[in-house]
Structure 1
Amino acid sequence: MSSSRTSRIALSLAATLYPALAYAHVGVGETSGFAQGFTHPISGLDHVLAMMLVGVLAFQLGGRALWLVPLTFVGMMAVGGMFGIAGINVPFVELGIALSVVVLGAAVAFEVKPPVAIAAGLVGLFAVFHGHAHGAEMPNSAGGLAYASGFIIATALLHIVGLSLGLVIGKIGRHVGPGIVRVIGGVAALAGLGILTGTL
């Protein structure tokens, strides 16, 4: 995977997010809602781990998975966020979030490479749980669109961090890099088990 191709993908994601970034600066209320939405994904270990693992997994899969897997997560997370904001119940949200860290961590650790459609479907399912949690916890003072823009952009940035992490590890070398990725995935999966059992 060339660094220039990964850079182009990161720039494309950033360009996609630009309208939402611009919206976030419309006014005080909208800006406050955006900030609250932006900080929500990065304030929880479960969200941070899952979203970075999506980026690492996408890097491992390569090809069209580089953009399809993260964008599927972002799109389905927005759907889940709308459910949460509207008060529509989604069962097993906390379980789904914890399992996302375990499953994605294990997939990265064992270098599981499913077909792109299956990988996208799996991360899309997990994204609904993450999105619902974000939407359901929206403060009453926040505007829905600004808040959603915030957590969507934060999520996309975490995906980019994961993709970049995969790129950096890949540059370390063919012999050392995969071992580091396995360790990262394994530690994340163990953290997910901790979240699942309530010990973290």
Structure 2
Amino acid sequence: MTTMHKAGLMAAAMALALPAAAHPGHGVEIGFLAGCLHPLTGFDHLLALLAVGLWSRQQRQGAVLAPSFLVMMALGASCAGFVTLPLLETSIAATVLLLGALAACAPSVQARVPREVAVLTVGACAFLHGLAHGRELAGMASGAGFILASCLVIAAGAALPGPRLRRVFGAAIGAAGLCLLAVGA
């Protein structure tokens, strides 16, 4: 089985898992543990974090993308109480598609994406994800756990070996984002 076939199967499996991927209650609603679990329970958020890790690894000066994402996501979470955007879930699905596509195309696109544009893109996506997370987090302890877990997921994406494998995973994430958009996330 070729790598492309495996990627297609993986994308199909992720698409089939979408109905079970909503943010379920995990029994712990407040505190550090709740914050740590939160980014892991939303399929769209998990994929966006992985894509940021993949893309940041492939950018020449990608070390700034992960911190930018985390800072802007925290800012979005802190603004969630007074900033509301229409179609937020649809926008989040679009960020999964965009970040996955950027990770999939990174080796060929990286020379054409200036660092400032990459940071602005990642920051805008992160702010949207932060708005969604901020409505569900309660307190500083859960916020700290949320950022720590998000950092670890981004690091997991960045740790994936080989540019080709990172492109395949990026394509699968982009395909999942397309599926999220199609089902009206």
User: Aligned Cα RMSD in Å?
Assistant: 1.8
- Mapped to 2, the partners of 1:117 and 1:35 lie a distance apart of 34
**1:163 equivalent in structure 2:** 158
State the secondary structure of the residue aligned to 1:148: helix
Find out whether 1:48 has 2:46 as its counterpart. Answer: yes
Greater Rg over alpha carbons, structure:
1
Residue 88 (structure 1) aligned to one of 83, 87, 91:
83
Please state which structure has a larger fraction of its residues in helix: 1
Amino acid across the alignment from 1:37: G
For structure 1, the 5+ residue unaligned runs are: 1-30, 170-176
If the length of structure 1 is used for normalisation, what is the TM-score? 0.71
AA partner of residue 158 (structure 2): L
5+ residue gaps, structure 2, are 1-28
Letter of the structure 2 residue corresponding to residue 126 of structure 1: C
Q: For the Cα contact (< 8 Å) 1:87–1:136, is it kept in 2?
A: no
Find the aligned partners of 2:32 and 2:75 in 1 and give their Cα distance. Answer: 17
Query: Following the alignment from structure 1 to structure 2, what is the Cα–Cα distance between the partners of residues 161 and 121?
Result: 22
Write out aligned runs for 1:29-178 (5 A).
32-63=30-61, 65-66=62-63, 68-84=64-80, 86-111=81-106, 112-113=109-110, 114-138=113-137, 142=138, 144-165=139-160, 168-169=161-162, 177-178=163-164
Aligned to 2:168: 183
Report if the CA contact (8 A) 2:54-2:170 is conserved.
Answer: no
CA contact (8 A) 1:37 1:134 kept: no
Instruction: Indicate the structure whose relative CO is greater, using CA pairs within 8 Å and at least 6 residues apart.
Output: 2
Q: Secondary structure at the residue paired with 1:51? A: helix
TM normalised by structure 2 equals 0.76
